[in-house]
């Protein structure tokens, strides 16, 4: 019996080995390509910040010197904290405008309204376009000389406004333009969450005399925690990786006086600056940006997990 079992076990291991070879043959090239295209550049960029560079030639190991330069030496320090602050303001504004309006639209379109599919399609179309295209298009629409927005306001006697030339207006306009592009995604995610709520709960609440607002506040919103979590994390990652829209509207400087200068544009300037240590500074900045996003994302995940356990 022992010899038979050993023989049988050997046959099973022999039969499994070709499967492992097949799996490795299919996954190996993909993993190798993924490592060469993504993992290796990320690892290289993370280590660049710990070395001193002269052009593309790596010099000696300097530890945290590049990080100290970014956060303690002018003009890098003021630009760094301004960029982080602008990213935070952009995130808060996007959460309020984009996700708030998207939630309201999801509730409105959750009912069997006439033309529901049409409105969902129209609202969702902008996110299919490139942010660069949208940025350049809105730059032309907001032009003080030939822009359609000023032309329309001129019909009511309003003088031309330098929308993108006024520092106080640049960030709010970016938030609104970004919300116009991505509000359809938010609406669809919240809409999917509303559809997943059992209809029996809503019908029972209405039979008990609950108003539409009470149903939304006490039944639907608590069960949308998972959808809110997804939207918040996606918004957080997208806002702290913001670059293309700001670059299209305000250039690499982030608009007039750096009013919309974000971490993406600052990283661009550090990477292509005239400093001989551009690789070191940009590598250090990319690592700081990665850490900020990871910490914020993990914190948001833990917060929403607690909320899900509380309302589940």
> What does the pLDDT read at residue 94?
95
Is residue 230 very low, low, confident or very high in pLDDT (cuts 50, 70, 90)?
very high
> What does the pLDDT read at residue 203?
86
Is residue 312 very low, low, confident or very high in pLDDT (cuts 50, 70, 90)?
low
> What does the pLDDT read at residue 3?
45
Give the mean pLDDT of 219-239.
Answer: 91
Q: Is residue 89's pLDDT more than 70?
A: yes
- Predicted confidence (pLDDT) per residue in 7-48, tens digit: 445 454 445 567 888 888 888 888 888 888 888 887 877 788
> What does the pLDDT read at residue 17?
67
> What does the pLDDT read at residue 4?
46
> What does the pLDDT read at residue 18?
78
Give the mean pLDDT of 93-103.
Answer: 94
Q: Kindly write down the DSSP assignment for every residue of the chain, as one continuous string.
A: -HHHHHHHHHHHHHHHHHHHHHHHHHHHHHHHHHIIIIIHHHHHHHHHTTEEEETTEEEEE-TTHHHHHHHHSTTHHHHHHHHHHHHHHHHHHHIIIIIHHHHHHHHHHHS--TTHHHHHHHHHGGGGS-HHHHHHHHHHHT-TTT-HHHHHHHTTTPPP--GGGSHHHHHHHHHHHHHHHHHHHHHHHHHHHHHTS-HHHHHHHHHTT--HHHHIIIIITGGGHHHHHHHHHHHHHHHHT--HHHHHHHTTTTSGGGTT--HHHHHHHHHTSS-TTHHHHHHHHHHHHHHHHHHHHHHHHHHHHHHHHHH-
- Predicted confidence (pLDDT) per residue in 138-163, tens digit: 999 998 888 899 999 888 888 888 99
Q: Which residue has the higher pLDDT, 311 or 118?
A: 118
Quote the mean pLDDT of the chain.
Answer: 86
Taking the model in full, what pTM does it have?
0.84
> What does the pLDDT read at residue 250?
87
> What does the pLDDT read at residue 7?
47
């Amino acid at each position: 019996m022992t010899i038979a079992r050993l023989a049988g076990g050997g046959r099973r291991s022999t039969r499994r080995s070709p499967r492992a070879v097949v799996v490795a043959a299919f996954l190996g090239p993909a993993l190798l390509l993924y490592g060469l295209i993504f993992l290796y550049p990320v690892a290289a960029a993370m280590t660049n910040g710990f070395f001193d560079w002269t052009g593309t030639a790596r010099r000696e190991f300097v530890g945290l010197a590049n990080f100290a330069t970014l956060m303690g030496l002018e003009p890098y320090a003021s630009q760094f904290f301004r960029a982080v602050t602008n990213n935070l303001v952009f995130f808060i504004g996007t959460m309020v405008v984009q996700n708030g309006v998207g939630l309201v639209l999801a509730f409105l379109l959750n009912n069997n309204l006439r033309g529901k599919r049409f409105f969902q399609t129209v609202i969702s179309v902008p996110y299919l376009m490139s942010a660069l295209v949208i940025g350049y298009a809105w730059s032309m629409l907001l032009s003080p000389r030939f822009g359609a927005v000023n032309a329309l306001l001129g019909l009511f006697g309003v003088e031309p406004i330098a929308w993108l030339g006024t520092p106080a207006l640049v960030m709010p306009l970016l938030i609104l333009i970004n919300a116009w592009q991505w509000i359809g995604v938010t609406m669809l995610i919240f809409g999917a969450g509303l559809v997943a709520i059992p209809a029996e709960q809503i019908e029972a609440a209405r039979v008990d005399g609950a108003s539409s607002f009470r149903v939304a506040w006490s039944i639907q919103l608590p069960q949308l925690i998972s959808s809110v979590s997804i939207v918040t994390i996606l918004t957080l990652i997208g806002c702290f990786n913001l670059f293309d829209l700001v670059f299209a509207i305000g250039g690499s400087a982030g608009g007039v006086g750096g009013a919309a200068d974000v971490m993406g544009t600052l990283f661009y300037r550090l990477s292509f600056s005239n400093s001989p240590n551009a690789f070191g500074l940009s590598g250090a900045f990319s690592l700081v940006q990665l850490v900020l996003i990871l910490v914020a994302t993990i914190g948001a995940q833990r917060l929403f997990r607690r909320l899900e356990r509380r309302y589940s």
